[in-house]
Structure 1
Amino acid sequence: MKETTIKPYKLKNGDTRYMFKIYVGIDPLTGRQHSTTRRGFKKKREAELTYNRLKLEIYNGTYKKLQYETFQDLYNEWIVHYEKTVEESTFIKTLGIFKNHILPDMGSYRIEKINATVCQKHVDDWIKKLKGFRVVKSYAAKVIDFAIMRGYIISNPFSLVYMPKKRSLKKGKNYYTREQLIECLNAFKNTSNLKIYAFFRLLGFSGVRKGEALALTWGDIDFNKNSVNITNAISYGKYSNLYLKSTKTRDHREVMMDQKTMHILKLWKNEQAQKLKLLGFDIEGSQLVFNNTKNTFINPSTTRKWLLKIQNKYNLKHITTHGFRHTHATLLVEAGANLVGIQQRLGHSGNNTTTNTYTHHTENIKIETLKKYVDYIKY
Structure 2
Amino acid sequence: GKRRQKKKSGFRTKKEAEAAAAILKNELNQGTYVEESNVTFEDFSYEWLSIYEGNGNVKESTVRIRKHEIKRLLDYFAKLKLKGITRHQYQNAINDLKKRGYAQNTIEGAHRTGRMIFRKAVEMEVLKKDPTEFTHVPRHQKTIEELEGKKDLPRYLEKQKLKHFLQVAKKVGLEQDYPIFLLLAYTGLRTGELCALKWRDIDMEEQTISISKTYYNPNNNRKEYKLLPPKTATAVRVIDVDDTVINELKKHQTQQKETMMKHRHIYHDQGFVFASVDDKLPGYPHYIKKVENRMARLLKLAELNTELTPHSLRHTHTSLLAEAEVSLPQIMERLGHKDESTTKNVYLHVTKEMKKEASQKFKELMENL
TM over 0.5: yes
Deviation at 1:217, TM superposition (A): 0.9
Counterpart residue number, 2:42: 72
CA distance in 2, matches of 1:261, 1:239: 28
Is the CA contact (8 Å cut-off) linking 2:36 and 2:127 kept in structure 1? no
Say yes or no: does 1:343 pair with 2:332: yes
Deviation at 1:81, TM superposition (A): 2.2
Say yes or no: does 1:269 pair with 2:240: no
CA distance in 1, matches of 2:17, 2:192: 56
Q: Per the alignment, do residues 218 and 143 of structure 1 end up closer, same or farther by CA in structure 2, a change over 3 Å counting?
A: same
Counterpart residue number, 2:365: none
Say yes or no: does 1:244 pair with 2:227: yes
Counterpart residue number, 2:116: 142
Among residues 112, 116, 120, which one is paired with 2:91 in the alignment? 120
Deviation at 1:171, TM superposition (A): 5.9
TM score, norm. by length of structure 1:
0.73
Among residues 252, 255, 264, which one is paired with 1:280 in the alignment? 264
Say yes or no: does 1:186 pair with 2:175: no
Counterpart residue number, 1:105: 76
Counterpart residue number, 1:96: 68
Deviation at 1:157, TM superposition (A): 2.7
Q: What is the letter of the counterpart of residue 254 of structure 1?
A: V
Counterpart residue number, 1:306: 294
Among residues 50, 58, 78, which one is paired with 1:86 in the alignment? 58
CA distance in 1, matches of 2:111, 2:49: 16
Deviation at 1:249, TM superposition (A): 2.2
Say yes or no: does 1:330 pair with 2:319: yes
> What is the root-mean-square deviation in Å for CA atoms of aligned residues?
3.3
Deviation at 1:250, TM superposition (A): 3.0
Q: Per the alignment, do residues 286 and 112 of structure 1 end up closer, same or farther by CA in structure 2, a change over 3 Å counting?
A: closer
CA distance in 2, matches of 1:259, 1:49: 85
Q: What is the letter of the counterpart of residue 313 of structure 1?
A: L
Deviating more after overlay: 220-229 vs 54-63: 54-63
Deviation at 1:243, TM superposition (A): 0.9
Deviation at 1:206, TM superposition (A): 0.6
More helix by share: 2
Deviation at 1:313, TM superposition (A): 2.2
For the residue of structure 2 that corresponds to 1:162, the secondary structure is: coil
Q: Per the alignment, do residues 206 and 87 of structure 1 end up closer, same or farther by CA in structure 2, a change over 3 Å counting?
A: same
CA distance in 1, matches of 2:154, 2:237: 27
More strand by share: 1
Q: What is the letter of the counterpart of residue 287 of structure 1?
A: G
Q: Deviations over 1:305-326 (max 9, x none)?
A: 1111111222112311111111
Deviating more after overlay: 267-276 vs 154-163: 154-163
Deviation at 1:340, TM superposition (A): 3.4
Is the CA contact (8 Å cut-off) linking 2:209 and 2:241 kept in structure 1? yes
CA distance in 1, matches of 2:195, 2:15: 61
For the residue of structure 2 that corresponds to 1:160, the secondary structure is: coil
Q: Per the alignment, do residues 198 and 59 of structure 1 end up closer, same or farther by CA in structure 2, a change over 3 Å counting?
A: same
Identity %: 23
CA distance in 2, matches of 1:320, 1:35: 65
CA distance in 2, matches of 1:219, 1:59: 68
Gaps of 5+ in 2: 341-369
Deviation at 1:196, TM superposition (A): 1.4
Deviating more after overlay: 186-195 vs 162-171: 162-171
CA distance in 2, matches of 1:289, 1:239: 18
CA distance in 1, matches of 2:225, 2:267: 21
Is the CA contact (8 Å cut-off) linking 1:88 and 1:238 kept in structure 2? no
Is the CA contact (8 Å cut-off) linking 1:72 and 1:108 kept in structure 2? yes
Q: Per the alignment, do residues 281 and 201 of structure 1 end up closer, same or farther by CA in structure 2, a change over 3 Å counting?
A: farther
CA distance in 2, matches of 1:205, 1:313: 21
Structure with higher RCO (Cα < 8 A, 6+ apart): 2
Deviation at 1:195, TM superposition (A): 0.9
Question: Which aligned pairs between 1:2-81 and structure 2 lie closer than 5 A?
Answer: 59-60=25-26, 61=28, 63-67=33-37, 69-81=39-51
Q: What is the letter of the counterpart of residue 87 of structure 1?
A: K
CA distance in 1, matches of 2:339, 2:93: 38
Q: Per the alignment, do residues 161 and 209 of structure 1 end up closer, same or farther by CA in structure 2, a change over 3 Å counting?
A: same
CA distance in 2, matches of 1:282, 1:260: 32
Deviation at 1:63, TM superposition (A): 4.1
Among residues 199, 207, 232, which one is paired with 2:213 in the alignment? 232
Q: What is the letter of the counterpart of residue 171 of structure 2?
A: N
CA distance in 2, matches of 1:161, 1:209: 35
Q: What is the letter of the counterpart of residue 341 of structure 1?
A: Q
Q: Deviations over 1:285-317 (max 9, x none)?
A: 941001124222322111111111111222112
Deviating more after overlay: 274-283 vs 201-210: 274-283
For the residue of structure 2 that corresponds to 1:322, the secondary structure is: helix
